[in-house]
Structure 1
Amino acid sequence: MDRIHLKNQLELYRTPYEEEAEFIVDFIELTQDPLAFKRERLEGHFTASAWIVNKKRTHTLLTLHRKLGRWLQLGGHADGHENLLEVALKEAQEESGLTSLKLVDETIFDLDKHIIPDRPHVPEHFHFDVRYLIEADINEPLKVSEESISLAWIAFDSVVDMIGYNPSILRMLDKTSKSEILL
């Protein structure tokens, strides 16, 4: 049922961002693959992420990813679980230790198809990342997991200085600033 729900959400998903709109069809087609939610699909597979913001929408929580060495949103592999919203929330809690996580909206916040570089025992492949907007208490203590080097709440106006140019993160940042009605 979750696969069907995801397909329905993807079919309804609209974005004004051209780079994001270009791969919506790829996401819809992937829902038909029996291995779509498993790492064993070596060409690429679904992942889920949490774009975590504070209630006032001034900061986002990012992780310095241990394997990739880059500042990213929290998230991870579905590992066979077809409810990507649950995957995003689980990964966010595991990677941050936060208990104050609150889903802002059950609909998809952002989509990104990106390449993961070749590593020992893992060939280069695509992540079809489905992202959800989640709110958390900026004052709650963070717990760095083994998947991260560091965690940090980063002010929106400092994100570019911290991460450099990452169009996917900048797109989510832009979407957040345009969604102030959700406050």
Structure 2
Amino acid sequence: MDLISQLRAFQPWNEQEDRDREALLRLLENGQAFYGREDPAHLTTSAWVVSPDRDRVLLAYHNLYNSWAWLGGHADGERDLLSTALREVREESGLENVRPVSRDIYSVEILTVDGHEKRGRYVSSHLHLNVTFLLEADPAAPVRRKADENSAVAWFSLEEAVSASTEPWFRQRIYSKLNAKLAGFPPRRD
């Protein structure tokens, strides 16, 4: 299913998701949402990685933002954003066995990114047109940091995951929402 169809099928959780979903659809339908990062508004994907019992969340300490945060990255031309989210989690955490709880979109966000230096070059301020997926992994599996992007990777309780972030808007509007939405995804008992 293409991204426009996925977004049309997506049921917003709150007003933020409703408005961001509508804006994403307008951009995509007008050919203005881009899969490459050269444009000032481009597609990204994030993952809310939870334990099978839904009690823990995996975060990375992102060097760029100096904060504990979800995992994810740029589409970089890839049209399958779920595959991109899975790849990014594997690259950023070292986890080998990570799987979708659902193949459906979990959340949508339009995120502002201030101008910054990356690998010695200036990156202009831009928008991340973000699609989030709910993934799960075993907290007992080994994790490792990706030195050029993060300085640590760790599991947190749901509450700790929210408070670990130093970004107030993410704590209040994104991470709290992602945790609340977990109620619709019962724990897996294998």
Fold in common (TM above 0.5): yes
Identity over aligned residues, as a percent?
29
* Partner of residue 98, structure 1: 95
- Aligned Cα root-mean-square deviation (Å): 1.6
Q: How far apart, in 1, do the equivalents of 2:115 and 2:162 lie?
A: 26
Q: How far apart, in 2, do the equivalents of 1:40 and 1:117 lie?
A: 15
Is the counterpart of residue 37 in structure 1 residue 35 in structure 2?
yes
Unpaired segments ≥5 residues, structure 1? none
Q: How far apart, in 2, do the equivalents of 1:127 and 1:117 lie?
A: 11
Note the 1:33-72 alignment, pairs <5 A.
33=31, 36-42=34-40, 44-72=41-69
The equivalent position to 2:175 in structure 1, one of 169, 172, 178, is 169
Equivalent position amino acid for 2:161 in 1: V
| Residues matched between the structures, number | 178
* Partner of residue 158, structure 2: 156
Q: How far is the alpha carbon of 1:123 from its aligned partner?
A: 1.1
The equivalent position to 2:84 in structure 1, one of 80, 84, 87, is 87
Instruction: Report SS of the residue matched to 1:181.
Output: coil
4+ residue runs over 4 A deviation: none
Instruction: Report SS of the residue matched to 1:22.
Output: helix
Cα gap change, 1:182 to 1:59, in 2 (>3 Å): closer
Instruction: Report SS of the residue matched to 2:116.
Output: coil
Contact 2:144 2:152 in 1 (8 A): no
Q: How far apart, in 1, do the equivalents of 2:92 and 2:162 lie?
A: 22
Instruction: Report SS of the residue matched to 2:59.
Output: strand
* Partner of residue 17, structure 2: 20
Q: How far is the alpha carbon of 1:34 from its aligned partner?
A: 6.4
Is the counterpart of residue 181 in structure 1 residue 182 in structure 2?
no
* Partner of residue 136, structure 1: 137
Q: How far apart, in 2, do the equivalents of 1:59 and 1:182 lie?
A: 11
Instruction: Report SS of the residue matched to 2:108.
Output: strand
Q: How far is the alpha carbon of 1:31 from its aligned partner?
A: 2.2
Q: How far apart, in 2, do the equivalents of 1:148 and 1:131 lie?
A: 19
TM-score by length of 2: 0.88
Unpaired segments ≥5 residues, structure 2? none
Instruction: Report SS of the residue matched to 1:95.
Output: helix
Q: How far apart, in 1, do the equivalents of 2:100 and 2:163 lie?
A: 27
